[in-house]
Structure 1
Amino acid sequence: MQATGIIIAGGKSSRMGTNKALLKIGGKTVVEKIVSELKGTVSEIIIVTNSYEDYRFLGLPMVCDQWQDMGPLAGIHAGLNASSTEKNLVVACDMPFISAQLGGVLLDFLDENQAAVPIITGQLHPLFATYRKDALDEVTQSLQKQELRIRQFLNNIKTKFVTENDLQDLKFIFHEKHLFNMNHPEEFEKAKKIDADF
């Protein structure tokens, strides 16, 4: 599919105490696991980071936030701005068990929507979600107004909030690990256990 994978790797990882994306699980860094899985569903991959040196080893295009210190919305802006495709899959850099198949499901929803965002057990997951390039104008306006809450931005565009029922209807078997992310050292330990169990 002609689509861009946008890995948001701009966070400070302050709660983890070290760069989450470069932690190793099963012999691979988390960001390498993400890249490997994304290759199954997108045609190009961009890393959004303010630390180019950390990710040069991946050999992928990198862009930095144009809006500094303005959180994940600034990362989405940088990625969409750099993307050359209409469809885009945004992934946070601390999600070691993403599913390319789930990404494909979300990308398909972009035929009729500007964004498709999982909302599982009531929790929104805007950093494993898909966005059309034409959502960029609204992202820019949100940043200009310093309205940094992603949910507010999503309410301003045509967004499909994808529920467990939607995934069931599509015969997609959802696992909790698909949207698992790591913020604290104990979550990294849990991730290593999940990896060992599968």
Structure 2
Amino acid sequence: MKKVGTAVILCGGKSSRMGFDKSLIEIKGKLLIEIVCEKLEKIFDEIILVTENREKFKHLKYKVVEDIERNYGPAGGIYTGLKYSESKYAFFLACDMPKINVNFIRYIMEVIKDGNYDGLMCKHNNWIEPLYAFYSKDLIKNFQNGIKENNLVLYDIIKNSNIKYITEETVRKYSENLDMFTNLNYIKDLEILKDI
């Protein structure tokens, strides 16, 4: 299958619960973020790392950009990723989401390509997964306004947009236990990396 589009990894979190910079987690001498990028390379022809400090990733071969608007959390990171993306749609995830489900990403890539959506994300119960999701460059203005008004809740920023939601039932066909949405928040969560 041809590689298309852009994947953006948000690397700017404070990692306060973990106690150290999660974007620098290593597995057998290799950054976890590199392992994630290598998996995404199978699907995407552009990978962007959004960070507050380009220096820490300067040795990597991927495009590394600094937040255009600093200290605005994921909203600022998504805004930056969309501004730098060469594609209309960009797939976003965080640096602490190590489970890459290539088949699912390929599926949602086809869905977003075939519709005129502003974004695509997954929903289970009434909860929306704002990462592991596609956003369109058409949302740049929405993110600019959210940052300007200091309303950084992702749902508020996109709520009036044409978002395609993937149901939990469909997601579970690709990830029965929804583990692709797993975040590494605490030291104990690092156990998950044994499977990577």
Task: Choose the corresponding residue for 2:34, options 15, 32, 42.
Answer: 32
Task: Choose the corresponding residue for 2:118, options 98, 114, 121.
Answer: 114
Moved over 6 A (4+): none
Identity among equivalent pairs (%): 29
What are the ranges of 5 or more consecutive residues in structure 2 without an aligned counterpart? none
Deviation at 1:123, TM superposition (A): 3.5
2:59 aligned with 1:49: no
Alignment partner of 1:62: what SS? strand
Work out whether residues 98 and 179 of structure 1, in 8 Å CA contact, stay in contact via their aligned partners in 2: no
Alpha-carbon distance in 1 for matches of 2:103, 2:145? 32
Alpha-carbon distance in 2 for matches of 1:159, 1:78? 20
Alpha-carbon distance in 2 for matches of 1:138, 1:123? 21
The corresponding residue for 2:136 is 132
Cα offsets for 1:101-129 (capped at 9, x unmatched):
22222222323211111123543221211
Alpha-carbon distance in 1 for matches of 2:74, 2:175? 28
Task: Choose the corresponding residue for 1:160, options 146, 160, 164.
Answer: 164
Work out whether residues 118 and 163 of structure 1, in 8 Å CA contact, stay in contact via their aligned partners in 2: yes
The amino acid across from 1:152 in the alignment is D
Work out whether residues 49 and 62 of structure 2, in 8 Å CA contact, stay in contact via their aligned partners in 1: yes
RMSD: 1.9
The amino acid across from 2:151 in the alignment is E
Aligned length: 192
Deviation at 1:82, TM superposition (A): 0.4
The corresponding residue for 2:155 is 151
Alignment partner of 1:108: what SS? helix
What are the ranges of 5 or more consecutive residues in structure 1 without an aligned counterpart? none
Deviation at 1:142, TM superposition (A): 1.6
Deviation at 1:37, TM superposition (A): 1.2
Task: Choose the corresponding residue for 2:92, options 69, 90, 97.
Answer: 90
Work out whether residues 90 and 135 of structure 2, in 8 Å CA contact, stay in contact via their aligned partners in 1: yes
TM-score, normalised via structure 1 length: 0.88
Deviation at 1:173, TM superposition (A): 4.6
The corresponding residue for 2:62 is 60
